[in-house]
Chains A and B, each alone.
Chain A
């Protein structure tokens, strides 16, 4: 299975940097997320995770490290976390780390909400 790598771009819209490694299961989304077509951007990302869970079946260490994202992006993050939860329930080994700027209570609260309302372990880490 191929790695998925998308360079972060900051222009009129902000594309986050995506690095998904199919050999190690290390996956990260970092930077800022505000896109012209949010769903168009995140659909292949969800597709990659689905394929990994079906074919590779190895552990996933997933990292969110975002300094800004809009509400449309947050909908896609929820879909990602739900998919990771599903993989975990099927027996996959999943770790989720959510980094947030120390002074950003809004991002911390969101990560807490994913954790509490979905009932999945998320390591929430200020930096």
Chain B
């Protein structure tokens, strides 16, 4: 972390992949809206896949909006920080979202992703329904319905992949990557 950020290396990294959209910063409602419009317009020639990418983006963005443990204050309002990249890779669109989380959430997130990848679609649908049914809104860690990850996996219909990197004693970087087949 002591190394000075190299914008040149950042630029080269981004150039390796077919990046359609890339954002890192405060995940405000306005930014979410603007990126979502950009996704819709970029993928409007591939409507069925495009709508899936849009729906997954919205859930990923809301995850950062509610749960990222890094934040900044702009104009008196506090926004949580994160990054979302949309790229293309062969027959797929790839959405990757990353943000900083408290370390205590890692086992929970890891187990949840592993469980989702090892469960068939019918069972996931049932689990999503049951969790939505028993979920209580407005508690500390469920500002939504608490089923975003399952919904993301169902919409993508492909395995999700996760990555964790320790940042310090308390915090880790958490990244989630999801694919959507083109031309569905």
Give A contacts to B, CB under 8 Å: 11-13, 34, 36, 38-39, 68, 70-72, 74-75, 78, 103-104, 106, 109, 113-114, 117
Residues of B within 8 A of A75 (CB): 132, 135, 137, 144-145, 147
**A/B pair count, beta carbons within 8 Å:** 63
Taking A34-B58, A36-B29, A39-B137 as contacts, is the C-beta distance between A72 and B129 under 8 angstroms?
no
* Inter-chain pairs besides A71-B132, A106-B155, 16 sampled, C-beta below 8 Å: A12-B33, A13-B29, A34-B58, A39-B138, A68-B54, A70-B58, A70-B59, A70-B62, A74-B132, A75-B132, A75-B145, A78-B129, A104-B48, A104-B51, A106-B55, A117-B126
The tally of residues in B whose CB lies under 8 Å from a CB in A reads: 31
CA distance A114 to B133 in the complex (A): 10
Query: 21 A–B contact pairs at CB < 8 A?
Result: A12-B29, A12-B30, A34-B58, A68-B51, A68-B55, A70-B62, A70-B144, A71-B148, A71-B151, A72-B62, A74-B147, A74-B151, A75-B132, A75-B137, A78-B132, A104-B51, A106-B52, A113-B125, A113-B126, A113-B128, A114-B129
Of the candidates B48, B126, B132, which one forms a contact with A103 in the assembled complex, judged by CB atoms under 8 Å apart?
B48
Q: Is there contact, CB below 8 Å, between B129 and A113?
A: yes
CA distance A34 to B37 in the complex (A): 14
CA distance A108 to B99 in the complex (A): 32
Give B contacts to A, CB under 8 Å: 29-30, 32-33, 47-48, 51-52, 54-55, 58-59, 62, 125-126, 128-130, 132-133, 135, 137-138, 143-145, 147-148, 151, 154-155
Q: Is there contact, CB below 8 Å, between A38 and B125?
A: no
Q: Is there contact, CB below 8 Å, between A117 and B144?
A: no
Q: How far is the CB of A52 from chain B (nearest CB, A)?
A: 23
Q: Is there contact, CB below 8 Å, between B59 and A71?
A: yes
CA distance A117 to B133 in the complex (A): 10
Q: Is there contact, CB below 8 Å, between A74 and B145?
A: yes
The closest CB in chain A to the CB of B30 belongs to A12
Q: Is there contact, CB below 8 Å, between B29 and A109?
A: no
CA distance A113 to B129 in the complex (A): 7
Residues of A within 8 A of B130 (CB): 117
CA distance A10 to B137 in the complex (A): 24
Taking A103-B47, A104-B51 as contacts, is the C-beta distance between A38 and B129 under 8 angstroms?
no
Residues of A within 8 A of B125 (CB): 109, 113
Residues of B within 8 A of A103 (CB): 47-48
Residues of B within 8 A of A104 (CB): 48, 51
Q: Is there contact, CB below 8 Å, between B145 and A71?
A: yes
Taking A70-B58, A72-B145, A74-B132 as contacts, is the C-beta distance between A106 and B137 under 8 angstroms?
no
The closest CB in chain B to the CB of A109 belongs to B125
The closest CB in chain A to the CB of B47 belongs to A103
Residues of B within 8 A of A117 (CB): 126, 129-130
Residues of A within 8 A of B52 (CB): 106
